[in-house]
Amino acid sequence: MSLLEIKNLHVSVDKHEILKGINLRVNAGEVHSIMGPNGSGKSTLAQALARRETYNVTSGEVSYNGKDLLAMKPEEAACEGIFMAFQYPVEIPGISNAYFLRSALNAIRRYRGLDEIDAMDFLPMFREKLKLLDMDEKLMNRSVNEGFSGGEKKRNEILQMAVLEPKLAILDETDSGLDIDALKIVAQGVDAMRNPERAIIVVTHYQRLLNYIVPDFVHVLVHGRIVRSGGPELALELEEKGYGTMEAEARHATPA
Amino acid sequence: MITATRHLENYLESFSEFEKLAVCHALPWLRKLRQDAFARFCEVGFPTTHDEDWRFTNVSAIAQTPFRLARNGRAQLSRQQLEPYRIAGVASQLVFVNGRFARELSLLNNLPAGVEASGLAGEIASGPEAIELHLGRYLDTRRDAFCALNTAFVEDGAYVHIPRGTLVEEPIYLLFVSTGDDAPSMSHPRNLIVAEEDSQATFVEDYVSLDGGAVFCNTVTELVAGDHTVLSHYMIEREHKEAFNISTLRIQQGRSTNVVSHSVLLGGALVRNNVHPVLAGEGGECLINGLFIGHGGQHLDNYMLVEHASPRCGSRQFYNGILDGHAHGVFHGRIIVHKDAQKTDAKQTNRNLLLSDDTQMDTKPQLEIYADDVKCTHGATIGQIEGDALFYLRSRGIDEVSARKLLLFAFASECLDRMKQGPVRGHVEGLINQCLFQVANAPDAARGTYREDAGRNWEEIG
């Protein structure tokens, strides 16, 4: 049984159909990359899997870990082990990063019937993850993402992922806006989390991130459909030729 | 007109009864203070929404209810009944039942030598000279019918005197309990707090009610801040949802004073909170910090009047409001910079979160500047809980009610963070938490339709 199985998924936002029948199967231990031009529906797929309510599933099925993902609320999906790293992490003034993360971790632990972790036990674990991402401990007492640089925000997303240890991680354009040093740190953070129990979906526009996180599979999303799937070599082909030919093929294949 | 007269007749009767029994009514200055104020009240009557200062707050519910002075009720109260309302660990707690000092329910420990804290009525009777020096000297009864009414019925409340150079480390906590009666009852607590030169202290006024029923608490505090004093004042309103509460805090600030006023309005049906500092001495600073959380049909009105009367004074106003259900909030921020108050630095910010389409928020800045070298800024925002933030928290496993509460609490924390760490802040934080839990738990049906738009905001610099 696959960890994630998407069948003929259609998603609309504000009555515009963005995803027009996605089929995708992801097994535990695999890293998949979803690539595509702007507006192809990559982020919509990520948001729909994270169960954002404004992304309206009009038809199709998604089974995750044997359960119906589309019946879950965002918090249920998270507690079941789905994590999405946001393309645009949200600033939340007035809630400290450390408090937020501990609340999230404990919400998930409660859901799974585990004991909550108190602030004392949380701290050492937290420090270790901070080191992994080369983050300043001071950021933890600041409000969530408030006044963080672009790179700090993205690193903060990966930090959350490292603390919450999801079964399925979806990185929504985590590489965008990162300089090469930050990109390496983020990629190392993600790569360190690869294991046979966990699947990772890397949504990206460019191939660059995939030099550091080498995917097992690459899918090309154009106009709301996956038009090609292949191995890591597909990413290199895209880098060389661009999305143009595939977009043209997609237009050709789509009945008017 | 007929009804207006009938309202006043009720007060005429109350006043003539009051005059027969009032403490030290034979003292000419006190008699004159009361009678002049009553005459003033009769002259102006209750304000209407035609009055600019009352445009957003209709007090006809107060005017039309035949309130009579609460005279009894204190005998039935026990210390145990009050336990849930007290702040744990605070040594000096003065209890007032329907505006009257209840010595047997009060705790008076740990006060430094020379500090007086007791009931005003007793102090008037035993040493009227000290009282005469300050009572009614700062409050302008001509401005406001409620201040006039309070002064007409002036008798009891808190009297606190901090001698020169004294540091009072523990807060002086004043608990005002209203007990319902069979008939609508009113009380007019009057507090006089005099902090002499170079002293430091913290005062808390906490308004609670024990039973339901129509109660009207019309309170006035005159806070006299001598030169170089550092003072904090807290006003906490958490009466039941039928109570009317009108409060006025009149602060007289001397030279180089530092005064902080915190208001936290959580309870009451109709609440009007007037904060009126006058920066009379050069180099004074005042911070006015407030939070109001209204739900159901509550009406919470905050009227700030900051007068800069001397050069080089600074004032900061920060008010945050959270409204749900069909609550109505008002923030009126008036700053007057007098002619000689050069180098004034005044700032005012009012931020509001509206959780339902049926709430109403009126926010109004009013700057009157008669000096030419001043800096005054003001700004206000009105918005909703951000959909993005809510989803962000939920996507990390935090359920919707908790996420909503977390965001509300974060918004409220902006005010909480301006309070000094200690038992009072802990007390206030607990109350806010309880209140927000109710708000976050309210069913969506009570909240109306949910929108994701960012709301409106504006800022001006003048």
Tokens 């609340």 belong to A103
pLDDT band at B43 (very low <50, low <70, confident <90, very high): very high
Which of A52, A75, A104 lies at the smallest CB-CB distance from B400? A75
Task: Please report which residue ranges of B268-378 form alpha helices under DSSP H.
Answer: none
pLDDT of residue B1: 43
On the question of pLDDT at A27 being above 60, the answer is yes
Most B-contacting residue of A14, A55, A91, A92 (CB-CB within 10 A), to test interface: A92
Q: For residue B387, which residues of chain A lie inside 8 Å, CB to CB?
A: 54
Least confident of B74-88, B246-260, B430-444: B74-88
On the question of pLDDT at B458 being above 60, the answer is no
pLDDT band at B455 (very low <50, low <70, confident <90, very high): very low
Q: Which residues of A touch B (CB under 8 A)?
A: 50-54, 73-75, 77-79, 83-84, 86, 89-90, 92-95, 100-101, 103-105, 107-108, 111, 143, 160, 164
Tokens of A52: 């954002």
CA distance A154 to A171: 10
State the smallest CA–CA distance between residue A241 and chain B in angstroms: 36
Domain count, chain A: 1
Instruction: Quickly count: other Cβ atoms within 10 Å of residue B330's Cβ.
Output: 23
pLDDT of residue B180: 80
State the smallest CA–CA distance between residue B392 and chain A in angstroms: 7
* Domain containing residue A138: CATH number: 3.40.50.300
Which of B388, B396, B452 lies at the smallest CB-CB distance from A160? B396
Between helices A180-191 and A150-164, what is the axis angle to 10°? Answer: 0
State the smallest CA–CA distance between residue A153 and chain B in angstroms: 13
As a three-state string, the secondary structure of A163-231 is: HHCCCEEEEECCCCCCCHHHHHHHHHHHHCCCCCCCEEEEEECCCHHHHCCCCCEEEEEECCEEEEEEC
Q: Which is it for the CA torsion A153, B419, B217, B75, positive or negative?
A: positive
Chain A residue closest to B414 (CA)? A94
State whether ipTM is beyond 0.90. yes
- Read off the pLDDT of residues B362-416 as tens digits, 9 standing for 90 and up: 999 999 999 999 999 999 999 999 999 999 999 999 999 999 999 999 999 999 9
Q: For residue B402, which residues of chain A lie inside 8 Å, CB to CB?
A: 103, 107
CA distance A148 to A157: 12
The DSSP H or E segment spanning B29 is helix B28-44
State the smallest CA–CA distance between residue B403 and chain A in angstroms: 10
- Interface check B381 vs A, CB under 8 A: no
On the question of pLDDT at A255 being above 60, the answer is no
CA distance B444 to B326: 13
Tokens 């199985």 belong to A5
pLDDT band at B454 (very low <50, low <70, confident <90, very high): very low
- Read off the pLDDT of residues A39-74 as tens digits, 9 standing for 90 and up: 999 999 999 999 999 999 999 999 999 999 999 999
pLDDT band at A99 (very low <50, low <70, confident <90, very high): very high
On the question of pLDDT at A250 being above 90, the answer is no
pLDDT of residue A193: 94
CA distance A79 to B27: 73
On the question of pLDDT at B251 being above 50, the answer is yes
Instruction: Kindly determine whether residue A92 and residue B393, on different chains, have CB atoms separated by under 8 Å.
Output: yes
- Label residue A151 left, alpha or beta by phi (over 0 means left) and psi (-120 to 50 means alpha): alpha
CA distance A115 to B318: 40
CA distance A223 to A17: 10
- Read off the pLDDT of residues B304-355 as tens digits, 9 standing for 90 and up: 999 999 999 999 999 999 999 999 999 999 999 999 999 999 999 999 999 9
The CA-based diameter of chain B, rounded to the nearest angstrom, is 71
**What's the mean pLDDT in B117-146?**
92
Q: For residue B413, which residues of chain A lie inside 8 Å, CB to CB?
A: 94
Chain A residue closest to B405 (CA)? A95
Tokens of B10: 């009720």
- Read off the pLDDT of residues B117-126 as tens digits, 9 standing for 90 and up: 999 999 999 9
CA distance A230 to A233: 7
Instruction: Kindly determine whether residue A74 and residue B394, on different chains, have CB atoms separated by under 8 Å.
Output: yes
Instruction: Kindly determine whether residue B387 and residue A108, on different chains, have CB atoms separated by under 8 Å.
Output: no
Chain B residue closest to A54 (CA)? B387
pLDDT of residue A253: 62
Instruction: Kindly determine whether residue A78 and residue B396, on different chains, have CB atoms separated by under 8 Å.
Output: yes
CA distance A73 to B340: 61
Identify the DSSP state of A139.
G
On the question of pLDDT at B139 being above 90, the answer is yes
Most B-contacting residue of A103, A109, A165 (CB-CB within 10 A), to test interface: A103
Q: For residue B393, which residues of chain A lie inside 8 Å, CB to CB?
A: 92, 100, 104
Please, what is the Cα angle at B404 between B401 and B405, to 5 degrees?
85
Task: Please report which residue ranges of chain A form alpha helices under DSSP H.
Answer: 42-49, 74-79, 97-111, 119-132, 150-164, 180-191, 233-241, 244-253
Q: For residue A89, which residues of chain B lie inside 8 Å, CB to CB?
A: 392
pLDDT of residue B31: 97
Which of B386, B395, B403 lies at the smallest CB-CB distance from A84? B395
pLDDT band at B453 (very low <50, low <70, confident <90, very high): very low
B15: helix, strand or coil: helix
% of chain A beyond a pLDDT of 90: 73
pLDDT of residue B446: 46
Contact A187, A208 (CB under 8 A): no
Instruction: Kindly determine whether residue B389 and residue A164, on different chains, have CB atoms separated by under 8 Å.
Output: no
Tokens of B374: 């001043």
Most A-contacting residue of B320, B392, B429 (CB-CB within 10 A), to test interface: B392
State the smallest CA–CA distance between residue A224 and chain B in angstroms: 23
Q: Which domain holds residue A152?
A: 4-253
Instruction: Kindly determine whether residue B395 and residue A50, on different chains, have CB atoms separated by under 8 Å.
Output: yes
- Interface check B85 vs A, CB under 8 A: no
% of chain B beyond a pLDDT of 70: 94
B393: helix, strand or coil: helix
- Read off the pLDDT of residues B431-446 as tens digits, 9 standing for 90 and up: 999 999 989 887 654 4
As a three-state string, the secondary structure of B102-148 is: CHHHCEECCCCCCCEEEEHHHHHHHCHHHHHCCCCCCCCCCCCHHHH
On the question of pLDDT at B301 being above 70, the answer is yes
Cross-strand pairs, B285? B258, B314
Instruction: Kindly determine whether residue A94 and residue B414, on different chains, have CB atoms separated by under 8 Å.
Output: yes
* Residue burial A198-220, b: 16+ Cβ < 10 Å; e: rest: bbbbbbbbebebbeebebbbbbb
Tokens of B240: 């039941």
